[in-house]
Amino acid sequence: MGFFATGAGDLGGPCSILENYKETTDERPIYFKPYGRSAFEDDLLDKDVIEMLKAKIIEPSNSPYGFQGF
């Protein structure tokens, strides 16, 4: 095994030391239009997101503050 991760599976999963919590207000979330990407970049991003979801590094969210472009 080397010093660097070669994929999401090498990272060891989610952090179990603390829970990530963001306190929000009842104000309307700010929406920014996603940056334009090529079809090639979209494919790479989709692959990476799916890999991180499978490795439980990230999790789906229905928050209005979360990324809604996937």
Tens digit of pLDDT for each residue in 10-65?
Answer: 776 666 676 766 777 777 777 677 778 899 999 999 999 898 898 888 888 777 76
pTM of structure: 0.57
Return d(Cα 53, Cα 64) in angstroms, integer: 19
Using alpha carbons, select from 46, 61, 52 the residue that is nearest to residue 12.
52
Backbone angles phi, psi at 41, to 5 degrees: -65, -40
Kindly tell me the sign of the dihedral angle through the C-alpha atoms of 48, 53, 55, 59: positive
The conformation of residue 65, written as its DSSP 8-state character, comes to T
Extract the tokens encoding 24.
């929000």
